[in-house]
Amino acid sequence: MSKRLTALLVATVLTVAACGNAPTERSDGGGGSGGATAPMGTRDPSELSVNIPSDQPGVTDTEIRVGGVASVTNPLGGPYGQAFKGVQAYFEMINAGGGIYGRQLKLVAERDDKVANNQTEVQGLLAQDNVFAVLPVASLLFTGAQLLADEGVPTFGWTIQPDWRGPPNLFGEKGSNLCIDCPYPIQPWLARTIGATKVGVLGYGISEQSKLCTEGIKRSFDKYGGAEIVYVDSAVPFGATDLSVQVSKMKDAGVDFVTTCMDTNGATSLAKEMDRQQLDATQYLQNGYDYSLVERFGDLFDGSYVLTGFVPFEVSDPPPGLQAYFEWIDKVGGERGESSLYGWLNADLFYRGLVAAGPEFTRQSVIDAINAMTNWNADGITPGVDWTTAHDTDATRSCYALSKIEGGRFVPQFGEPGKPFVCFNFDEPLPDEPERAASVR
């Protein structure tokens, strides 16, 4: 792997690590939720069976064809190919109910970009696979973003790169307005709520992305308070396994809350060293909602907190969208987890765009229909995205779900029955009690 590609990959790893701190929006606007196969807005359900001939790419009399690309082969060991299973599961659900506009939804291409070949595989989707839309995109590098933007192809994927921000046809699972170095209240609020007072921050030093990530954490505590940052090392070598010096210094500084801009391997090395030196500090995992992680290292991460932009699977009262996801991902033999859920969310937004566009849908009308939605929430899975602003406008409010690792399990925290999310206004001080919210109202 070239030095340039390695640097880009590390930058993306850091973006993945930082994404847990990025906003998951909630809008107070309308937009409806309804059942997973129900039309949005006021469209007559009878229109969903109307089959009008179409000259759109990837549309036949019997099918609407889509294809996706993922970093199935990747050096991080991430299960990103499961995003295909999420799309497949959603399409199976829709097709079992008769499809849409007299057609079946078909995932006809599952391309593996092997990290380095995203643009080439995206080109193949458009030139060879004849697809109407591109989904899912679950890639560590999104070098094909500009091509898709230029071609105006409706595209749905995992928002971990800044490439998603801006183009009106690129739709991420939590909005597309990613800002890594912006200040967010969730970490300061969590630190204060659990009684932590001194914070340690670690990040890799290989790229500008690390600086953005650590800068965002520092800005968060500077703006909102909650605890004091007493130790920062933003120059940890990528792949380092010996973090004894950093942990020793954090211990000397009295750190009791640790947050990082590192991948799961780095976070695991840190947890091992914290355990060895008996540093009694809570670790905050921005992207730790990983069943394989707690299965292997649950004892190391016991007491750590994990952030999600969706309802944790462990809630006692899962919303309708999550119940449907459980049923259909199991039916297609997929794995329950973030990657397959993101594919499901991509498919849900695509389907709702088709519904809202009507029987004479085009690529552009689907894009326009989605960009008029003010509270897409996939039947309660997410807090809600306002697509009238979610491409390039920084959020002023956000909602999150937090879970604690206890006994090798994720245990949802701070929510209430039917209201798993805690919500914050960015222009207000930390509240003693944030609003608890659900996305289905």
Which domain CATH number covers 365? 3.40.50.2300
Mark whether 236 and 200 lie in a shared domain: yes
The overall pTM is greater than 0.85 = yes
pLDDT digits (tens, 9 = 90+) for 315-355: 999 999 999 999 999 999 999 999 999 999 999 999 999 99
Q: Identify whether 243 is part of a domain.
A: yes
Q: Is the pLDDT of residue 3 over 70?
A: no
Range of the domain at 198: 186-308+398-437
Range among 40-44, 216-220, 290-294 rated most confident: 216-220
Least confident of 183-187, 228-232, 395-399: 395-399
Q: Is the pLDDT of residue 283 over 70?
A: yes
Side chain identity, residue 65: R
Mark whether 156 and 270 lie in a shared domain: no
DSSP 3-state of 76: coil
pLDDT digits (tens, 9 = 90+) for 208-266: 666 788 999 999 999 999 999 999 999 998 889 999 999 999 999 999 999 998 888 89
Mark whether 414 and 287 lie in a shared domain: yes
Length of the chain: 441
Mark whether 170 and 37 lie in a shared domain: yes
Measure the CA–CA gap between 249 and 30, rounded to whole angstroms.
50
Q: Identify whether 21 is part of a domain.
A: no
Average pLDDT, the chain: 90
Mark whether 234 and 344 lie in a shared domain: no
Q: Identify whether 155 is part of a domain.
A: yes
Q: Which pairing describes strands 421-425 and 397-406: parallel, antiparallel, or unpaired?
A: antiparallel
Percentage of the chain lying above the pLDDT 70 cut: 89
Query: Average pLDDT, stretch 113-140?
Result: 96
Stronger pLDDT, 417 or 257, i.e. the higher one: 257
Mark whether 218 and 142 lie in a shared domain: no
Number of domains in the chain: 2
Residues 6+ apart with CB under 8 A from 152: 169, 363, 364, 367
Residues 6+ apart with CB under 8 A from 41: 31, 32, 356
The predicted pLDDT at position 212 comes to: 84
Mark whether 143 and 264 lie in a shared domain: no
Burial class (CB in 10 A: 0-12, 13-18, 19+), 28: exposed
What is each CA distance from 64 to 51, 159, 208, in whole angstroms? 12, 24, 41
The predicted pLDDT at position 36 comes to: 38
Mark whether 164 and 281 lie in a shared domain: no
Q: Is the pLDDT of residue 437 over 60?
A: yes
Mark whether 296 and 353 lie in a shared domain: no
The predicted pLDDT at position 264 comes to: 86
